[in-house]
Structure formats: C-alpha cells, structure tokens
Structure 1
C-alpha cells in the first residue's frame, strides 16, 4: 500500500461509504483535527489516489440496461485515431488497450439489444477498426470496486473490519 497509513485508509473508507460527508464531520468521526483531514485529502488528491467526488451514476437507471464488452482489432498505427473516434461515442464508457487476441477492450452500454447493434455499428464505422467481437454481460455480481484494495492491511489481507463486512459492499 504505497504510503497509505491507517488514517488514510479510514478516511477513504468513510468517504466511500458517505461521499457527501463534510471535512468537519470526517474529522469528528475519525477523531483528528479538521486540518489533518484536509491535508490528507489534498495529498491523496495530488497523488491521484482520490480522483473525484462526483456522483456514482448507474447507466441502467438512465435507461441503458444492456452492458457489453467489445474487443477491437485495429490497424497498425491507428490507435490514436481509434481512441479519438471511441471518445466521441457516449455509450463507450471505457476503453483499455490490451494484450491477447485483440488490441482494445471497450465497455459499452445500450438501451436494448437492438440498440446495442446501433452502438456497435457506430463503433466499427471507422477505417482504423479491422474486426470486433462483442459479448453481452448478463449480470454484475461484483460491481467495479476499489475499496477492498484500500482497506487491506498492506500484505494483501483484509482488516478484521473487512472480514465482518458482507462481500459486494465497498
């Protein structure tokens, strides 16, 4: 755990569970001075550990009930252009360059299976994309999470508080 101490972990855990809590209330609950909490937050943000405090938005609640993953094969030397193309498609939630059978992996959403075809058509409507393979996610039993990485003790072991917490929380 690169330079995260117990207070950093407790602060991140508190903010993850209650993102709208203020600095003063954080300091009260953690039993430290307000200035200490603010300094820790500033440092964690500067280091990129905490990237933001925005709302966690569920695409399904916005009507995008289908999630799929598309593996893309791209023409050599066209990576930058393909990235720019994908960035213009709102339904492309994230893109990773990968090793293996493809070059890029995208998480995409759509309003329905037929709408997914529209999104895929838009994704592949670019000269730099040679081939795509798409799979539809049926369920998401472990949603994206980072908190378990923060709350482990630095040796890859969950803290006693984590062991008592049901899986899927955090």
Structure 2
C-alpha cells in the first residue's frame, strides 16, 4: 500500500497529537473532514493504522524488569508453542525468528525471581527444547514510528 505525502502528514499528526479530534486534524491540514476520514479509513483498512488505544507502561503496572527470551522449539511444534505462549500474561510480544532460536519473546516481570518463574513456565511447555534469556538494562531508543513516517513522507515527494 502506497503512503503519499498527505497520508504521512496525517500519520504524523496522529502520532504527535493522538487526542486531537478529526475535525481539528482536518483544520490543521487544511483539508475537508470527509477527506481526512476517507484517508483514515483507507489507512486502517490497508493495515497502516493498526490501533488507536493507549500505549501502557509495564513498569508502571508493576513489571519493571524486561527480558528477551529466545525459545528453541521442537520441529513441527511451532504453532502449539505459539498458542501456549499467548496464555502467559507476562509475554507482551512474540515473534517467530530465524537464527539462534525459533521464537523471540519480550517478557516483563516484577523482579528477577518473578522472571525466573516465568522462564520455568516456558521451559515446561510441550514442544519447548530450551530457552536463552537476555535482560534489558536500559531502554536506549523507545518504540517510535515518527522518524519512519517522516522518511516515508519525504520519499513520497511534495504533497499538500
């Protein structure tokens, strides 16, 4: 799906001012509200906009420890393991991967002992061969999309 310069401007506003109304976005951009809504609908339908809810802080929810757990899975067991991982609330993301492990998970925990408990749950899952854990020390670049949106907008060329 091609994102043009106007789409990039809309996305930037959504990222920078997420609580602003559609009417105000349209005013800022100098476009009709209907045009804005049609663009938003298309961006959602095409999977560019995947959600509108708040980003929550695991640390503020009492889970300040962040770890990346690589999971090696027995051949042919990826789907059942992935389904079982979805039942572990401390796993906030999981990806099938190439390289050293089959699945990479992002795990949050209350403390190191809790992290160990979560890892023990993972190693007992049917189909899990072994795990390797790396603890994050400090976030250096927080999750962000604005630089990518700006680069896409520049590549799309001049627009409204």
Pairwise TM-score range, normalised by the shorter structure = over 0.9
2:15 is aligned with 1:16: yes
Deviations 1:63-83 (A, max 9, x none): 110000011110011111100
Regions of 4+ moved over 4 Å: none
Q: Secondary structure at the match of 1:106?
A: strand
Aligned to 1:108: 107
2:119 is aligned with 1:120: yes
Q: Secondary structure at the match of 2:20?
A: coil
Q: Secondary structure at the match of 1:93?
A: strand
Aligned to 2:67: 68
Aligned to 1:42: 41
Aligned to 2:129: 130
Aligned to 1:4: 3
Structure 1: state its 5+ residue gaps: 156-170
User: By how many angstroms is 1:19 displaced?
Assistant: 1.2
Aligned to 2:27: 28
Give me the whole-angstrom Cα distance separating, in 1, the residues matched to 2:85 and 2:99: 20
Give me the whole-angstrom Cα distance separating, in 2, the residues matched to 1:28 and 1:115: 49
Greater relative contact order, per chain length (Cα 8 Å cut-off, separation 6+): 2
Aligned to 1:79: 78
Deviations 1:45-101 (A, max 9, x none): 000000111011111110110000011110011111100110000110111111111
- TM-score norm. by structure 1 comes to 0.88
Q: Secondary structure at the match of 2:105?
A: strand
Q: How does 1:140-159 map to 2 (within 5 A)?
A: 140-152=139-151, 153-154=154-155
Give me the whole-angstrom Cα distance separating, in 2, the residues matched to 1:148 and 1:121: 38
Give me the whole-angstrom Cα distance separating, in 2, the residues matched to 1:15 and 1:118: 39
